Amino acid sequence: MNQLKKYISFYTLLIISLLCLFLVSNSIANQVQRPKAFATVYPYDAKADSAFIGDWLQLYLEAECEEGTKMQWPLTGEKIGDFEVIEVGKIDTIVENGRLKMKQIVNLTAFEAGDYTVPSFVYPYTLPDNKKGQIKTDELVVSVSAPAVDLEADIKPIAGLLELPRSFKEYLPYLAIALLALLIMALMLYLIRKFSNQTLEIEPPAPQLPAHELALKRLQELEKQKYWQQNEVKMYYSELTEIVREYIENRYDIQALELTTDEILAAFKEINIRKSTLKKLEEMLTLSDFVKFAKAKPGIEEHSKHFNGANEFVRKTKKREIIETEE
C-alpha cells in the first residue's frame, strides 16, 4: 500500500512538472512573439552631457517584431510634447534571425529652459496569427538648461553654421542639371560637325524696285481699294500722301514722311522741277492736310484730280536711265 502511494505521488509530481514546463515554455514562446518598442533621447552632440536652449536633441524610436507581423508606426507632427520637431528621418528596417528591427531618428529642440516630457508612443500591431494588440513606450523627461553667461566676460564672435551631412537625394538635382548640360553640349557638337561641311544656300534678296515703279504699283493698289467711294475720304488721302511722300524719300533722299507740307515744298526749291508739276504736288498735299486735320470734304472731282496729279508727279519726276552707246 505504501509502495502504491509512492508510485501515485511520483506520477502526480511528474505530471505537474510537465504541465508547469508546458506553461512556462508557452509563456516564453508568447513572450518572444510579442513586439517590442523603445524611445530614447540623446543630445545631438554626443560629447555633451546636457541639453541647452536651442540645442538639437535626437529622439530614437525603435521597434522589433517577428517577420509577418504588421506594425503601425506612430506619426510625428510639427511638435512632440512641448518640443519643436526640426527634422524627421526615414524609417530604417533590417532583418536579423527572423525578426524585423526598425529605427527612426527625429531631431527636436526647445527654446525655453525647463523639464520637457516626451509622451509615450503607441504601436498597434497584428501578429501572423491575426491576434491584435498594441505596445507603448515609456514617457521620457528631458531637462533643458539655459547656458551660464558671464556678464563680465568679453563678447565672443558668432558661432559658425552647423554643418549637416548631405544625402544623395540632395545632390540629385545638381547631377541631373550637369547631365542635361552635357547632353546639350554633345548635341550641339554633333550638329556643328554635321553641318560644318555643308554649304548653306542663301537666297539673294529680291531686287528693290525703282522708286517710281514702287509708287505707281502702290497707286494702282490704292485705286482698287475704292476708299472714297465707301466714304472713307480721310483714309484715301492718308494713303495717297503717304505714297507720294515715300516716293519723294526714295527718289530725292528727302525725309518727306517726317516733314510738313511747307518743309517739303521748301526742300524742292533747290531741285529743278517744272512749276506746274510742283503746283499739283502742293495742291494735293495741302488738300490732304485739310481733310486729315480740318475735316474738309472735297468733291468727287477733287478725288480723281489729285489721284491723277500724284500719278503725273511720279511719272514726270522719275529718274531717267542713261544708256551708253558705243560710237
pLDDT digits (tens, 9 = 90+) for 19-64: 766 665 555 545 546 788 889 888 876 665 667 888 888 889 999 9
Residue 205: inside a domain:
no
Residue 171: inside a domain:
no
217 and 134 co-located in one domain: no
Which of 128, 145, 162 terminates a domain? The answer is 145
pLDDT digits (tens, 9 = 90+) for 12-29: 766 776 676 666 555 554
Residue 79: inside a domain:
yes
167 falls in which pLDDT band (50, 70, 90)? confident
Cell 524610436 found at: 61
Residue 192: inside a domain:
no
60 and 138 co-located in one domain: yes
Judged against a pLDDT cut of 80, whether residue 114 lies above it is answered with yes
pLDDT digits (tens, 9 = 90+) for 288-311: 888 888 788 888 888 888 888 889
pLDDT digits (tens, 9 = 90+) for 137-161: 988 888 888 877 666 767 767 767 7
Helix axis angle for 275-293 and 300-317, nearest 10°, is 140
Which residues on neighbouring strands pair with residue 40, listed in sequence order? 60
Q: Region 124-136: what's the mean pLDDT?
A: 89
Neighbours of 160 (CB within 10 A): 6
The rounded distance, in Å, linking the Cα atoms of 92 and 62 is 10
Q: Which pLDDT value is given to residue 3?
A: 60
49 and 138 co-located in one domain: yes
7 falls in which pLDDT band (50, 70, 90)? low
Q: For the chain, how many structural domains are there in total? A: 2
Question: 3-class SS at 114?
Answer: strand
Q: Which pLDDT value is given to residue 193?
A: 83
DSSP letters spanning 11-32:
HHHHHHHHHHHHHHHHHHHHHH
Q: Which pLDDT value is given to residue 324?
A: 37
129 and 223 co-located in one domain: no
Exposure of 304 by Cβ count < 10 A (0-12 exposed, 13-18 middle, 19+ buried)? Answer: exposed
Residue 174: inside a domain:
no
| Residues of the domain holding 73 | 34-145
Q: What is the mean pLDDT of the chain?
A: 81
- The answer to whether 288 and 237 are in contact (CB under 8 A) is yes
Judged against a pLDDT cut of 60, whether residue 201 lies above it is answered with no
- Confirm whether pTM is higher than 0.75: no
26 or 210, greater pLDDT: 210
- The answer to whether 203 and 247 are in contact (CB under 8 A) is no
Residues 106-139, buried b or exposed e (16+ Cβ, 10 A)? bbbbbeeeeebebeebebebebeeeeeeebebee
221 falls in which pLDDT band (50, 70, 90)? very high
Residue 196: inside a domain:
no
Which of 91, 113, 145 terminates a domain? The answer is 145
Residue 17: inside a domain:
no
Which of 145, 164, 189 terminates a domain? The answer is 145
Exposure of 234 by Cβ count < 10 A (0-12 exposed, 13-18 middle, 19+ buried)? Answer: middle
Percent of the residues in the chain that have a pLDDT greater than 70, as a whole number: 80
- The answer to whether 218 and 243 are in contact (CB under 8 A) is yes
Judged against a pLDDT cut of 70, whether residue 268 lies above it is answered with yes
Exposure of 13 by Cβ count < 10 A (0-12 exposed, 13-18 middle, 19+ buried)? Answer: exposed
Judged against a pLDDT cut of 60, whether residue 196 lies above it is answered with yes
Neighbours of 240 (CB within 10 A): 25
Residue 71: CATH number of its domain: 2.60.40.10
Q: What is the CA radius of gyration of the chain?
A: 51
Residue 83: inside a domain:
yes
**Residue 100 — φ and ψ, nearest 5°?**
-90, 130
132 and 220 co-located in one domain: no
